[in-house]
Chain A
Amino acid sequence: MRPADLLDFAWQVLRGSPARTLLILLAMGIGVAAVVLVTALGEGARLYVANQFGSLGSNLIIVLPGRSETAGAMPGVLIGKTPRDLTIEDALALKRSHAIRRFAPLIIGAGNVRAGALSRDTPVLGSTAELMDIRNMQMAQGRFLPEGDPRHSQPVCVIGAKVASELFGSRAVLGEWVRVGDRRFRVIGLLAKQGESLGFNTDEIVIVPLAAAQALFNTEALFRILVEAKSREQIAHAKADVEEIIRLRHEGERDVTVITQDAVLATFDRILNALTLTVASIAAISLAVAGILIMNVMLIAVTQRRREIGLLKALGATGQQIRLAFFTEAMLLASGGAAAGLAAGELGRSIIAQVYPAIPFQAPWWALVAAPATAVITAVLFTLAPARRAARLDPVQALSRR
């Protein structure tokens, strides 16, 4: 039998009972569409998290005072007391590493910011000029903090968009003076609106030079040191350098925690991948159910088409040809259902993407391959038994019944 004739024969069978064909296509289609949709949701969530981390700055390493010995707890926060502070000298010592491009020490506190009669409480960040590049900050007007020795400072500050509009309304802010606590700062820059990135809203902060913040909050201790490695490959090297340099400075004690962006991202990646796989496998069960449906339908077909199978054998069809006819029929059903499912899944995905434009929903390529492949393979596997039964049918008995 020629392949084209085989396809044509199976096509005639499917066309001969449209209701049966449509129902199986529906079952197969729902299974495939479910897998595509579920994996698109999972992949979308994963990409969303990855993008959020990307906006933090590239190749970022975060140095925290204190060491987390027990898993899960934020070091230095839940323990209450850190053994040794991170100081500006610790930060400056990092210059020795060749794997580090730049770093920015960070102090955070709450301050009362006033301009004229208006005042509000905002988070106040003390840092250096490097913060801008490390955090990928954009300026709307003016410039960022000036470069120079972080131990000495000028009385200047950079403010977020929301702080500016609340204190100055629509007036120009560059060159104006604001009072933070008991100190005066000249506004030299206005941050562009960036919104929230991982719990940090740059629209609502005031950034002052590090030394000014130390005086303002009366502390030598740094909250964080943000470190940028020279390249992605250098991250591990830079991390080791940071640990080693600070250990030497802290009399051989490992009392800081170094977090790489990669590590955090990898954790999220693992969680979301596991989640996607789990839900996708649940969706894949519906494919197996569709396969069982195909088997049932084929078993019924063998019974219903006894006479036809007997006739085909009388006309000279070999067992192989009968089996092939059944497989072709199942393959057509499965691939038709898979195509319909892929189309429906894509439609569903684009609808959800319209509703949540911020999240990049996109089914991963492996799901787009695996879902239809699973559909076809289950269809063929579940047709094995019915096809065998048909091929073994005794033509004399099959033909003798009316």
Chain B
Amino acid sequence: MIRLSGIARTFLVGGEEVHALREVNLAITRGEYLSIMGPSGSGKSTLLNIIGLLDRPNAGIYELDGGNVTALSDDELARVRREKIGFVFQFFHLVPRLTALQNIELPMVLAGIDPAERRGRLARLLAEYSLEERASHRPDQLSGGQCQRVAIARAMSMGPTVILADEPTGNLDRHTGQEVLSVLERVHHNGGTVVIVTHDPDIGARSQRRLRMLDGAIVSDENG
């Protein structure tokens, strides 16, 4: 479903080339629960951004659902992102002036989905992530766990091919973190593909497939 071949990404920092990713090859199949671990600066966030089409590789080929997405224009990438990618961020990234409901609705609004259809999907998402009572609250009236549940509901609203979570528990206490993690695991149990970037070994240990990165390369890939 996701196939990266020979992906490289270099940044120019102060006139010097920094290799964030070198020759990364990776294949992810549908329904996988995968964690990417490694020290900071190892390239795991860059890898996630490239899988999420937020960033473009300098070299290599990225195939998503059988199509080469390496050569798409910015607007085509935006459309693919809208349909196939769901992001969950460390700092939630909810729009502060919008209610929980409106935040969840945002990707569907951007996609131009009919309001009647949106209402149906919203009702289902609110029920699935236990947010019915919080629907009309703004992010500053929500707890961290609730914010992250809103963010996961938002990521799921377009029925994406893959959920990409960048340190989803990094800004939460241990207990709430576990809670959010179990929500993500439920997505996986329902057949969704989940990729989590984390530096917490406990979280990494819970996933089905574990990648370790170092200096822009995948150094281990364990299954089971």
Binding site for B on A (CB under 8 A): 1-2, 5, 9, 12-13, 15-16, 307-308, 310-321, 395-396, 399, 402
A314 to B166 Cα, complex, angstroms: 13
B 92-122 binary contact with A (CB < 8 Å = 1; else 0)? 0101111000100011011110010000000
Query: Which of B75, B78, B79, B106 has the largest number of chain A CB atoms within 10 A?
Result: B78
Chain A proximity of B54: nearest CB distance (Å): 5
Binding site for A on B (CB under 8 A): 49, 52, 54-55, 74-75, 78-79, 81-83, 85, 87, 89, 91, 93, 95-98, 102, 106-107, 109-112, 115, 154, 158
**B75 near A5 (CB under 8 angstroms)?**
no
A396 to B49 Cα, complex, angstroms: 7
Chain A residue contacts of B75, Cβ below 8 A: 318-320
Can you name the residue of chain B whose Cβ is closest to the Cβ of A321?
B110
**A1 near B112 (CB under 8 angstroms)?**
yes
**B98 near A314 (CB under 8 angstroms)?**
no
Could you show 8 A-B contacts with beta carbons less than 8 Å apart? Answer: A308-B95, A311-B93, A314-B93, A315-B110, A315-B154, A316-B78, A395-B54, A396-B55
Chain A proximity of B7: nearest CB distance (Å): 15
One of B85, B112, B154 near A2 (C-beta < 8 A): B112
Instruction: Tell me if A's interface is mostly helix, strand, loop or mixed.
Output: helix
A2 to B93 Cα, complex, angstroms: 23
**B97 near A13 (CB under 8 angstroms)?**
yes
**A315 near B82 (CB under 8 angstroms)?**
yes
With A12-B97, A319-B78, A396-B54 already in contact, 5 other A-B pairs whose C-beta atoms are closer than 8 Å = A2-B112, A315-B107, A316-B83, A316-B107, A319-B75
Chain A residue contacts of B110, Cβ below 8 A: 1, 312, 315-317, 321
**A15 near B79 (CB under 8 angstroms)?**
no
Q: Closest 8 interchain pairs by CB? A: A316-B82, A16-B97, A318-B78, A318-B75, A316-B81, A311-B93, A5-B109, A315-B107
Chain B residue contacts of A9, Cβ below 8 A: 109
Chain B residue contacts of A16, Cβ below 8 A: 96-97
A16 to B95 Cα, complex, angstroms: 11
One of B81, B82, B93 near A399 (C-beta < 8 A): B93
Assuming the contacts A2-B112, A9-B109, asked whether A318 and B97 have C-beta atoms less than 8 A apart, the reply is: no
**B98 near A317 (CB under 8 angstroms)?**
no
Chain B residue contacts of A307, Cβ below 8 A: 93
One of B78, B83, B85 near A317 (C-beta < 8 A): B78
